[in-house]
Structure 1
Amino acid sequence: MTDHERASFERLLKIARSDTGQSRRVAAFILAWWNAGALGGFDLADLFGVDQAIAADMGTVFVCLGRQSEAFYPNEYRTEIEAIIEAWRPEIWASSQS
């Protein structure tokens, strides 16, 4: 990740930890990347429900992922992503802690 891409992703992480409609959409975007099969996909129409700056950050992350030659996951942000799973997918989080 470039510094610009990392900054975009970190802004998205911060938004996803809030409790708004935009936060829900950003969380879905991040969780679809982390594990769409288990955590749900991302509906591209949700881009219409976020501010342009947020959509731009999502686009930056998307381009970053498209540039990778193999699957890439930001493991250094695992704690933050797990907090998003716990907040937005509590039933999945609870079952993973059993």
Structure 2
Amino acid sequence: MRSEHLQPAEKAALERLISRAQGNTGQSRSVADFLLAWWNSAECGKYDLTTAWGVDDDIVDDMCVVFRLASRSHSYPDTLGYGSQFEAIVREWRPELIRG
């Protein structure tokens, strides 16, 4: 599945979360943790659902949409065309995982 096969609401929610994850706030960290758990939980870490308690409702709504997307698509974000964006999130929030 490629990004052009995403439903418009899924694409919009995912792109908003990617943008949020590129910030430098506590909420940005929570969003990054959520997204990276989808991409590679073995290396990037799991996501504790109670972390969402500190996130605004609109962000949680987007997380729910993306959770459904991940379940429906049976795909990782890089196979949906978002590999470079997720690599940027890793560089920001998991620099120790960068192989140089």
TM-score, shorter chain, exceeding 0.5:
yes
Unaligned runs of 5+ in 1: none
Deviation (angstroms), 1:64 = 1.6
Deviation (angstroms), 1:67 = 2.1
- Pick aligned residue for 2:23 from 4, 18, 22: 18
- Pick aligned residue for 1:91 from 79, 89, 96: 96
Counterpart AA for 2:61: A
Unaligned runs of 5+ in 2: 1-5
Distance of 2:86 and 2:68 partners within structure 1:
20
Distance of 1:72 and 1:82 partners within structure 2:
16
Q: How does 1:33-48 map to 2 (within 5 A)?
A: 33-48=38-53
Q: Structure 1 length normalisation: TM-score? A: 0.90
Q: Structure 2 length normalisation: TM-score? A: 0.88
Q: Does 1:72 align with 2:78?
A: no
CA-based RMSD of the aligned residues comes to 1.0
